[in-house]
Amino acid sequence: MSVLSSGIIMSASEAESFPEDDIDRLFEKLHKLEPPRDIVKQILARVKRLPAPSPHTDTDQSQLEKKQEAAE
């Protein structure tokens, strides 16, 4: 949905029927960047290299909650 400055809410299909404005023309002039083709592979490879999270025990969790309560 799109919201016009007058507060009117329109669906995407309705918004497409309106002529382009200055903002649309400016965005058309921007250089379009394409993400690397193998971006998902890169992200997954980096995630695999992250250290495993340390398991939290109930006592660790309760101590953390107490610290948060004390800070408030």
Give me the number of domains the chain comprises: 1
pLDDT for 1: 47
Q: What is the pLDDT along the chain (72 residues), one digit of tens a residue?
A: 455 555 666 666 666 677 778 888 898 899 888 888 899 899 999 999 999 887 765 556 677 777 777 776
Asked if residue 65 is part of any domain, the answer here is no
pLDDT at 2: 53
Q: How far apart are CA 42 and CA 33, in angstroms?
A: 18
* 41 domain-assigned: yes
Looking at the domain assignment, is residue 63 inside a domain? Answer: no
Q: Give me the domain span that covers residue 33.
A: 1-49
Whether this model's pTM surpasses 0.95: no
Query: How far, CA to CA in Å, does 27 sit from each of 1, 20, 57, 70, 71?
Result: 19, 11, 51, 49, 46
- Which pair of structure tokens corresponds to residue 43? 């992200």
What does the radius of gyration of the chain's CA atoms come to, in whole angstroms?
24
Residue 60 falls inside a structural domain: no
H helix or E strand, kind and range, residue 3: strand 2-3
